[in-house]
């Protein structure tokens, strides 16, 4: 790890931190791709697509129930805590928004107040047929797929599956903060695939300082990032934000 120069957060008004699976590795949660990734040993097609929900809702539900149990036992790590502490130290005219691709809820548990869950959350379920949805504790869901209390169809985890678009409200909330973003960090995400690649481009377009923080270098390099800081998120973020 090279010498880390802290970012003077006081100089920025609209701070956006995009996070991906890499930020939760130190909490004991697996990534999806790469070494030890979930999709190396579980078929995406049969467990995490809208088609799979239609053909075998029980299988999809049980798969996410396992993830939910892992999340229920996990704790936020120093990276989640550093982001929450940075937000707490801001002036009234400053904002810090977390845009997360994670469905583990660890930012909120660390104390972050402004969190946009781009891919939904494991603590939400919704009906596969009607507009019913519910949010409850990670441990409160049953292991087998529940029926909708309104229409009796199967429920499903309210997470974005592989062939599904981002929820409209989450995408809108992300666009809103990126419009006048002046500091953008991507943490624990590859930075080269959507939505990370689009979000950093929007931040760059707004004139933001753009920083890539990850264990792995970008492949290929995304020129929308002005700075690259390589290392473990839980070590880097407390230093970058000057907290902890
Ligand atoms: Zn229903």
User: In the chain, which ranges are continuous DSSP H helix?
Assistant: 44-47, 50-55, 57-73, 78-88, 106-110, 168-179, 196-205, 233-240
Residue with tokens 């390099």: 221
Q: Point out the residues that are catalytic.
A: 119
Dist. CA 53 → ligand 1 center (Å): 14
47/63 Cα distance (integer angstroms): 7
Dist. CA 145 → ligand 1 center (Å): 13
Tokens of 107: 């930012």
Dist. CA 36 → ligand 1 center (Å): 36
187 SS3 class: strand
- In a 10 Å sphere around its CB, with 0-12 CB exposed, 13-18 middle and 19+ buried, how is residue 16 labelled? buried
Tell me the sheet residues that pair with 18.
Answer: 99, 186
Dist. CA 107 → ligand 1 center (Å): 29
Tokens of 38: 């979930």
Cα–Cα nearest to 100, from 219, 186, 194, 229: 186
Residue 195 contacts residue 118 (beta carbons within 8 Å): yes
Tokens of 102: 């994670």
84: number of CA atoms within 13 Å, CB side?
Answer: 16
- In a 10 Å sphere around its CB, with 0-12 CB exposed, 13-18 middle and 19+ buried, how is residue 164 labelled? middle
Cα–Cα nearest to 211, from 179, 180, 181: 181
Q: How far apart are the first and last CA of the chain?
A: 18
116/226 Cα distance (integer angstroms): 24
| pTM for the structure as a whole | 0.94
Structural domains in the chain, sorted by start: 7-28+76-119+166-244 (3.40.50.1220), 30-73+122-159 (3.30.1600.10)
What's the pLDDT at 42? 83
pLDDT 10s digit of each residue in the chain, 244 long?
Answer: 568 899 999 999 999 999 999 999 999 998 877 667 887 888 888 889 999 999 999 999 999 999 999 999 999 999 999 999 999 999 999 999 999 999 999 999 999 999 999 999 999 999 999 999 999 888 888 889 999 999 999 999 999 998 899 999 999 999 999 999 999 999 999 877 778 889 999 999 999 999 999 999 998 899 999 999 999 999 999 999 999 7
Dist. CA 149 → ligand 1 center (Å): 7
């Amino acid at each position: 790890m090279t010498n880390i120069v802290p970012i003077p957060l006081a100089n920025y008004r609209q701070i956006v931190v995009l996070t991906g699976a890499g930020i939760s590795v130190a909490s004991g949660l697996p990534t999806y791709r790469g070494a030890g990734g979930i999709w190396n040993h579980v078929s995406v097609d049969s467990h995490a697509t809208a088609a799979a929900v239609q053909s075998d809702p029980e299988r999809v539900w049980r798969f996410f129930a396992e993830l939910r149990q892992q999340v229920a036992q996990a704790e936020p790590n120093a990276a989640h805590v550093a982001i929450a502490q940075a937000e707490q130290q801001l002036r009234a005219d400053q904002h810090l928004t977390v845009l997360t691709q994670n469905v583990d809820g660890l930012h909120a548990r660390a104390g972050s107040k402004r969190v946009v869950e781009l891919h939904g959350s494991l603590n939400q379920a919704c009906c596969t047929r009607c507009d019913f949805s519910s949010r409850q504790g990670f441990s409160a869901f049953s292991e087998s797929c529940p029926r909708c209390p309104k229409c009796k169809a199967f429920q499903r985890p309210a997470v974005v599956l592989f062939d599904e678009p981002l929820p409209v409200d989450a995408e809108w909330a992300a666009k809103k903060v990126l419009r006048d973003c002046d500091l953008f960090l991507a943490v624990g995400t590859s930075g080269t695939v959507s939505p990370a690649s689009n979000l950093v481009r929007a931040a760059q377009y707004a004139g933001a300082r753009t920083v890539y923080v990850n264990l792995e270098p970008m492949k290929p390099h995304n020129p929308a990032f002005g700075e690259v800081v390589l290392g473990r998120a839980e070590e880097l973020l407390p230093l970058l934000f000057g907290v902890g």
